[in-house]
A and B are shown apart, each in its own frame.
Chain A
Amino acid sequence: GDSVTQTEGPVTLSEGTSLTVNCSYETKQYPTLFWYVQYPGEGPQLLFKVPKANEKGSNRGFEATYNKEATSFHLQKASVQESDSAVYYCALSDRSNNRIFFGDGTQLVVKP
């Protein structure tokens, strides 16, 4: 079945340093890939999604490239801020699914 594996948290960084959260996926189909972010007390919200291989998604300084060969969709940001502290979910959905499959989430803690 479909599955998503991502960096186990928590990931603790100092403000201004770079971030990489690894995400690998398994599916027999051709998926759309997502990154969601969840702030305390809120539901997850879409950060961005990428429907096509070899394309990049980005939002708020975060970016990820859909790598079909490596089955990866790693999240990166050059310089994190304290306000980026949240839980980040990698997810996928393909045409054979009714829904989106989420990874276990990676908690990011950014210290000032």
Chain B
Amino acid sequence: NAGVIQTPRHKVTGKGQEATLWCEPISGHSAVFWYRQTIVQGLEFLTYFRNQAPIDDSGMPKERFSAQMPNQSHSTLKIQSTQPQDSAVYLCASSLEGGQDTQYFGPGTRLLVL
């Protein structure tokens, strides 16, 4: 079992550019979660899919951020017109069925917006 895979591990973008982050959940897991982690804000929930359907996006910024899960083997988080304040580690996690199931995290993508 390879665990949750996130690519790229590091990404540097210029202000105003677009960034797409990829996540491959553990095979057989139906729930996928995205989090943002910074020193100031800690671990922030962004969004959650179950069986590829968006369930809860209450943590997603209303502008510039979007997430998709086109198939059971990957999810993407897209940030348009990136800003320096978007610099963070973006973590993806998957669990068997969501809810109270244990979440397994990937290593994260460290995004730096210059």
Contacts and interface: CB of A to CB of B under 8 A. Distances in A.
A57 B71 CA distance: 36
A95 B50 CA distance: 16
Interface centre among B98, B100, B102, by most chain A C-beta atoms within 10 angstroms, is B100
Contacts of B93: 43
Contact of B43 (A89, A93, A94): A89
A102 interface: yes
Number of chain A interface residues as a range:
20 to 34
A99 B4 CA distance: 17
B100 A32 contact: yes
22 contacts: A41-B107, A43-B4, A43-B107, A43-B108, A45-B105, A46-B102, A46-B104, A49-B102, A93-B99, A93-B100, A94-B100, A95-B99, A98-B48, A98-B99, A99-B48, A99-B56, A99-B98, A99-B99, A100-B100, A100-B103, A102-B42, A105-B42
Contact of B42 (A42, A46, A104): A104
Nearest to B93: A43
Nearest to A100: B103
Given A43-B91, A51-B100, A98-B98, 9 more contacts: A43-B4, A43-B105, A43-B107, A43-B108, A46-B104, A94-B100, A95-B100, A99-B33, A104-B43
B106 interface: yes
B50 to A, nearest CB: 7
A94 B100 CA distance: 6
Nearest to B3: A43
Contacts of A44: 43, 91, 105
Contacts of A34: 102
Nearest to A44: B105
A20 interface: no
